[in-house]
Structure 1
């Protein structure tokens, strides 16, 4: 029970990587606030955990983030652990990309992380300790074709992570990024469906295209990402800050 008594907030907590992180946090004794756009699946997940609450949140709206974090604090106290997991990935070649696509990718994947970091830091600085982990993707470490806006936003998350790590280095707070490769989640299943629809390839061929960049030749499992996050939350990782940890089977070295 390494995190007994700690209050952890997870965005995008209803499924995939977020849900796996929630399970791991709860197993280690943390009180968990699940945040996401759709309340029903968050409530269902929270009902299965010993100490959990669900709060609907659109991370792209600054005022909504402030209100949600105040609400979370009222129930479980100041935030000790912040997991920024909410994200979206839309595809488009740059020459066909409209403003709405670009702005949406920035709003969800970068602005939302900034808003949540800002609100959690207000509480962590008062208590003199904290952990912030941004789920940034290997798209923060390299480029991928047809997801330029997503990659740009995730590169921005890594820059934000490193800057915050320096700002908080003497405050008892660490700020790190976990960068999963293609992970077995609904987001990747949507990507496979998109490849099938646009190219006429089979699902097996589409999956092979995504996994060929992973030297292990497979999709990462959400629980593997959660394990990296849990280590960063642990007391033993107190000297680790400003880092980008790739969980991608050796894709990025």
Structure 2
């Protein structure tokens, strides 16, 4: 494949860092953004090709615009956009605050919208582009104690579908990857919060998450990256929310 200019959000750890590594190994130029500068530098040091470390808060519109402008000044327009930044607030709906609700929508739905809006004009001008949103199986089913996260992930899948339909004739594809429970620091954080709230043993909680998936283990970040690779390579896959969860949600 022709080397492309890639931007990966939430690239400092977990799924995002693995995706960045895959894109770099495939010969692409990879710009990394997340809030942690030190962690971004550690990821970039392991990449095999050109990279840019661009610390930013993706919920800040000015910061996002600056990230895109920096990539454009260095390499040209973003051609592959992987929207991985996200987080979850785990608590019963009755205890969820307005600030937590709006924070989840801002990070998991509005930030991807702003990044897509910024990337699309250049992609359509060149008649080529790939946008991949890392969503969740929570975008397809209801998850208890994750109401704001679930709503935001349902929303971002709807956003992806609308964008894919709008851009179908332009050479730009838009897809979502919907992992189940993945072996990442984010899942470790969930386990810790559940343990603190319930008093249960962390190992017991982790096993329960593993058993939610028929393959009886957590998904690996590499298995999520496999599907991102497919979405980047294919011009015929668009408007899809591809589930990677060991068979828990069959769709």
TM-score (norm 2): 0.97
Deviation at 1:59, TM superposition (A): 1.1
Aligned position for 2:244 = 247
| Separation of aligned partners in 2, 1:56 and 1:26 | 19
Q: Deviations over 1:6-40 (max 9, x none)?
A: 11100000100000101110110000000111112
1:147 pairs with 2:157:
no
Q: Deviations over 1:187-233 (max 9, x none)?
A: 10011112222222222210122122101011000011001100110
What is the count of residue pairs matched by the alignment?
A: 249
Aligned position for 1:161 = 160
| Separation of aligned partners in 2, 1:63 and 1:53 | 18
| Separation of aligned partners in 1, 2:165 and 2:224 | 24
Please show how residues 53-202 of structure 1 align to structure 2 within 5 Å: 53-202=52-201
Residue 54 of structure 2 aligns to a residue whose secondary structure is strand
Q: Deviations over 1:163-193 (max 9, x none)?
A: 0001100000000000000000011001111
Deviation at 1:47, TM superposition (A): 2.7
4+ runs of 1 displaced by more than 6 Å? none
Which moves more between the two structures, 115-124 or 166-175? Answer: 115-124
| Separation of aligned partners in 2, 1:131 and 1:159 | 17
Residue 56 of structure 1 aligns to a residue whose secondary structure is coil
Structure 1 residue ranges without an equivalent (≥5): none
| Separation of aligned partners in 1, 2:124 and 2:34 | 25
| Separation of aligned partners in 2, 1:74 and 1:231 | 28
Aligned position for 1:206 = 205
